[in-house]
Amino acid sequence: MRVLVAGGAGYIGSVVTAALLEGGHEVTVLDDLSTGHADAVPSGARFVQASLHDSAPVLAEVRPEAVLHFAAKSLVGESQVKPEVYWDTNVSGTLALLEAMRAADCRRIVFSSTAATYGEPEQVPIREDAPTRPTNTYGATKLAVDAMLTSYAAAYDFAAVSLRYFNVAGAAYGLGERHTTETHLIPIALQVVAGQRDHLTIYGEDYPTPDGTCIRDYIHVEDLSDAHLLALTAPSPGQHRIYNLGNGTGFSVQQVIDAVREVTGHPVPVEVGQRRAGDPAQLVASSDRIRGDLGWTPKHTDLAGIVRDAWETAQKRA
């Protein structure tokens, strides 16, 4: 298939680009490099530096059969203090991309949605029919795009899939997390191991969980990537499908820190700090829907294995 990957210079987009190339697809990456890295774009892909707002000429020229859309601002804290940036990039930018697709007669899209669309869950594991009440601007913008896709499927026969990621981690194809502003637990713990930080702050130890720290569902980026390839051809014109993507098991912050110590053989000094605003105690996905519909099965569900892949890739880059 001829595909366009918006945001293919970022962590997840670059891994999926590598997997698409391996699967024999022809890939053009569109990325404005606001947070991505040009050297993360796999060498077999064509790279165009442009924003979503300027995507129309690129779509007109490439004429892709499908778009995979990863390009977004994704820092929860920043979304609370600079909401205009999030509404502009994530929502207006996506609207511009969808209009560019329509003009180029491309109506197939896989979109990176998020568990943050659900907010504080009433029930865990979270199913796709759970209420969507995002507690931050980031989640609200992603939910707005999910609604946009439902409209475009109904009105313009788009074939769309929203994949709601839980906590993506690990590395594949030598590509791992490299955020300038790092907020995620596993890469921060690995930065402590590498001596780039002197300690890790545990955001709260008084949650109603067995060890008092928050529980999250860590999914290996390679399993996530497999889901994108399955989702690419799944919907028929006029359909918008929504799938959660998690490994189905929750791990606490304390368990993650223990795994990092075990895998790296290094101490990880910690301090216990305040709760981080907007952090639910537990976020664990039910991924039964995508397992049933598309036969997706995560292969790398072991926490130590996820941490090991992230660590080995981070060491190679150092």
Q: Does the protein bind ligand UDP through residue 216 (CB under 6 A)?
A: yes
Per-residue binding string, ligand UDP, 36-55, x by CB under 6 A, is --------------------
Give the footprint of ligand UDP on residues 239-258 (CB under 6 A).
Answer: 253
201, 236, 297, 315: which one binds ligand UDP (CB under 6 A): 201
Q: Does the protein bind ligand UDP through residue 164 (CB under 6 A)?
A: no
Give the footprint of ligand UDP on residues 128-147 (CB under 6 A).
Answer: none
Q: Does the protein bind ligand UDP through residue 228 (CB under 6 A)?
A: no
Give the footprint of ligand UDP on residues 262-281 (CB under 6 A).
Answer: 276, 279
Q: List Cα–Cα distances, 304 to 12, 261, 282, 313, in angstroms.
A: 20, 10, 20, 14
Smallest distance, ligand UDP to C-beta of residue 240, A: 24
Spatial neighbors of 152 by CB under 8 A, at least 6 apart, are: 98, 102, 107, 158, 160, 240
Give the footprint of ligand UDP on residues 178-197 (CB under 6 A).
Answer: 183-185, 188
Per-residue binding string, ligand UDP, 278-317, x by CB under 6 A, is -x--------------------------------------
Spatial neighbors of 237 by CB under 8 A, at least 6 apart, are: 107, 153, 157, 158, 159
Smallest distance, ligand UDP to C-beta of residue 216, A: 5
Choose among 144, 150, 126: nearest CA to 245. 126
Nearer to ligand UDP, 158 or 311 (CB): 311
Smallest distance, ligand UDP to C-beta of residue 207, A: 8
Name all contacts of 262-265 with Cβ < 8 Å and 24+ positions apart: 262/304, 263/304, 263/307, 263/308, 263/311, 264/190, 264/193, 264/307, 264/311
30, 41, 52, 202: which one binds ligand UDP (CB under 6 A): 202
Nearer to ligand UDP, 200 or 260 (CB): 200
| CA triple 190-176-97, angle to 5 deg | 135
171, 200, 219, 285: which one binds ligand UDP (CB under 6 A): 200
Radius of gyration of the chain (CA): 19
Nearer to ligand UDP, 87 or 203 (CB): 203
**What would the DSSP string read from start to end of 39-75?**
GGS-TTSEEEE--GGG-HHHHHHH--SEEEE------
Nearer to ligand UDP, 189 or 231 (CB): 189
5, 18, 143, 214: which one binds ligand UDP (CB under 6 A): 214
**What would the DSSP string read from start to end of 86-102?**
HIIIIIIHHHHHHHHHH
Tokens 């664990």 sit on residue: 284
The residue from 138, 152, 207, 243 that is catalytic is: 138
Q: List Cα–Cα distances, 35 to 8, 177, 309, in angstroms.
A: 11, 11, 22
Cβ pair 217, 250 in contact under 8 A: yes
b/e for 180-201, b at 16 or more Cβ within 10 A? eebebbbbbbbebbeeebeebe
Nearer to ligand UDP, 233 or 255 (CB): 255
The verdict on whether 138 is a catalytic residue reads yes
167, 225, 286, 313: which one binds ligand UDP (CB under 6 A): 167
Enumerate binding residues for ligand UDP (CB under 6 A): 167, 183-185, 188, 200-203, 214, 216, 253, 276, 279
Supply the residues annotated as catalytic: 138
